[in-house]
Structure 1
Amino acid sequence: MTLKKLREVRISQGKSQTFMAKKLGYKYASGYANIEMGRTKPSLEKAKEISEILGVEVNELFFDKKLHISSKNTNTA
């Protein structure tokens, strides 16, 4: 997970960890802070929520390499 990217995007948008935590339904800011610090990994659902709040694609926030879907058909039957 590119935690540095997650933090940078959040800060660049002027959003606090407390804001993010509340939007995600955490009782305390530490719930979100733990994700940013790498102590806990978010579920796919939480990752999607975070990306929606920040307006950035999930892949850009949570994966080091670009993911792509190949449209090549490998079956030649």
Structure 2
Amino acid sequence: MKNRRLKEARIKANMSQNQLSECLGYKGKQSVANWENGYSTPTLKVAIRLSELLGKDIRYLFGQKVQENHTFSSEVLKSN
């Protein structure tokens, strides 16, 4: 299933697939394109970084219902 939320968040952040890939340390846009098209999913570490880069809650980016304006907090990781 396509990940429309990830794509919308990337576009709202005014980033191309290439730019987002580079921020994540990838060469080329293929990984981001695959995630957006539902062909694969990122590792948890990469998903957390995506959440930080795009300013969106990780649960929102990957399908759970949360308020769209709810942002990821790294404090959540520290408390676990």
Instruction: Extract unaligned runs of 5+ from structure 1.
Output: 67-77
Q: Deviations over 1:28-51 (max 9, x none)?
A: 111211111111111111100100
Q: Give the TM-score normalised by structure 1.
A: 0.75
Equivalent-residue separation in structure 1 for 2:35 and 2:2 (angstroms): 11
Q: Give the TM-score normalised by structure 2.
A: 0.73
User: Stretches of 4+ moved more than 6 A in 1?
Assistant: none
- Mapping of residues 1-77 of structure 1, within 5 Å: 3-66=3-66
Equivalent-residue separation in structure 2 for 1:24 and 1:39 (angstroms): 18
CA contact (8 A) 1:2 1:64 kept: no
Report sequence identity in percent: 38
Instruction: Extract unaligned runs of 5+ from structure 2.
Output: 67-80
Q: CA RMSD in A?
A: 1.7
Equivalent-residue separation in structure 2 for 1:34 and 1:5 (angstroms): 14
Of structures 1 and 2, the one scoring higher in RCO (CA 8 A, sep 6+) is 1
Aligned positions, number: 66
CA contact (8 A) 2:6 2:61 kept: yes
